[in-house]
């Protein structure tokens, strides 16, 4: 009979037998998420000018899709499109399976890390799974459907950046590449989502021949994307802010957005 080892082997918050720098990853994840939240709050609530340029040809990813402009909505002057749509990306990312791992480890310290002791109180609290407020995590699949709609509108935004001079010339500028990169990374984040596989055979009882066999093969292919989900989570998130800074800088005249190709 094997001897069972009770983990973590040491008691006391942060104590461990690990010899690697286990805290580096959680530190940077916490730092990244905090900066993202503070930046978004400041930009959306207090600093929501300079969100597009060239008469709406290029729009900041934080404020895209710019539904107020697209649908000519009559809204109070303090309202902006981010206030209307950000609940979708927030809801999607907030219920993401990878995000759950991040916030449980970084912000709740429950667990702190593999084989690292967590705060004493968390041993008493334990892990209650998707209960209480966390039951909302179950809406993730529905948030995915909404995120797909937002992604399609962002693809349209990329196409829109290719029409210059009031729609008379077609081409590509740096702004096109910035928004295209953001859309591609977002597409990869969405396509690598655990719930995305539900659309490709994940909801079937069996994969045996015919359409269900094809769906089964697709499920395996889509599942391969899921392996790098954390990578797509972070790169797509960072690109939202880089894109916003680029649009802000061009809009304020600190940078220009020259054509690379024009027809
Ligand atoms: Fe992360 Fe769906 S699991 S977005």
List pLDDT tens digits, range 172-210.
999 999 999 999 999 999 999 999 998 888 888 888 888
With beta carbons less than 8 A apart as the criterion, state whether 170 and 176 touch. no
With beta carbons less than 8 A apart as the criterion, state whether 79 and 67 touch. no
pLDDT in tens, 21-57: 999 999 999 999 999 999 999 999 999 999 999 999 9
Q: How many CB atoms lie within 10 A of CB 110?
A: 17
Question: SS3 of 170, please?
Answer: strand
Residue 257, Ramachandran bin (φ over 0: left; ψ between -120 and 50: alpha; else beta)? beta
- pLDDT, mean of residues 234-258: 97
Between the CA of 236 and the centroid of ligand 1 the distance, in Å, is 12
Question: According to the model, what pLDDT value does residue 8 have?
Answer: 61
CA distance 25 to 115: 15
CA distance 96 to 237: 13
CA distance 77 to 225: 42
Between the CA of 230 and the centroid of ligand 1 the distance, in Å, is 9
CA distance 196 to 97: 12
Residue 5 has pLDDT above 70, yes or no: no
Nearest CA to 239 among 193, 188, 179?
A: 179
Question: According to the model, what pLDDT value does residue 206 have?
Answer: 85
166 Cβ contact list (under 8 Å, min separation 6): 55
Question: According to the model, what pLDDT value does residue 138 have?
Answer: 94
Between the CA of 103 and the centroid of ligand 1 the distance, in Å, is 14
> What are the start-end ranges of the E strands in 93-197?
163-164, 169-173
Question: According to the model, what pLDDT value does residue 261 have?
Answer: 84
Question: According to the model, what pLDDT value does residue 7 have?
Answer: 63
Between the CA of 100 and the centroid of ligand 1 the distance, in Å, is 10
Pocket test for ligand 1, best of 89, 143, 150, 194 (most atoms within 8 A of CB): 194
Protein residue closest via CA to atom 1 of ligand 1: 96
The whole model's pTM is what? 0.91
Pocket test for ligand 1, best of 186, 193, 222 (most atoms within 8 A of CB): 193
Ligand 1 pocket by C-beta < 6 Å: which residues? 96-98, 140, 193-195, 229
How far is C-alpha 50 from the geometric centre of its chain's CA atoms? 23
CA distance 138 to 100: 12
Residue 1 has pLDDT above 80, yes or no: no
**Sign of the dihedral through C-alpha 161, 165, 166, 167:** negative
Confidence of residue 2 (pLDDT cuts 50, 70, 90): low
């Amino acid at each position: 009979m094997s001897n069972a080892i009770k983990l973590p082997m040491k008691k006391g918050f942060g104590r461990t037998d690990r010899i690697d720098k286990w805290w580096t990853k959680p530190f940077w994840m916490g730092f990244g998420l905090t900066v993202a939240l503070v930046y978004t709050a400041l930009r959306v609530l207090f600093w929501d000018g300079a969100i597009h340029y060239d008469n709406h040809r290029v729009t900041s990813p934080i404020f895209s899709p710019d539904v107020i402009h697209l649908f000519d909505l009559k809204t109070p002057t303090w309202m902006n499109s981010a206030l209307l749509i950000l609940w979708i990306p927030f809801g999607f990312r907030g219920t993401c399976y990878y995000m759950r791992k991040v916030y449980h480890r970084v912000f709740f310290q429950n667990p702190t890390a593999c084989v690292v002791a967590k705060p004493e109180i968390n041993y008493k609290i334990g892990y209650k799974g998707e209960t209480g407020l966390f039951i909302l995590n179950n809406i993730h699949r529905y948030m995915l459907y909404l995120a797909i709609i937002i992604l399609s509108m962002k693809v349209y935004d990329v196409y829109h950046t290719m029409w210059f001079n009031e729609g008379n010339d077609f081409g590509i500028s740096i702004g096109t590449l910035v928004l295209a990169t953001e859309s591609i990374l977002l597409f990869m984040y969405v396509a690598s989502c655990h719930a995305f596989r539900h659309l490709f055979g994940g909801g079937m009882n069996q994969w045996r021949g015919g359409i269900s066999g094809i769906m089964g093969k697709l499920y395996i292919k889509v599942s391969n994307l899921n392996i790098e989900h954390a990578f797509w989570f972070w790169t797509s998130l960072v690109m939202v802010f880089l894109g916003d800074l680029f649009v802000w800088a061009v809009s304020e005249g600190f940078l220009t957005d020259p054509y690379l190709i024009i027809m």
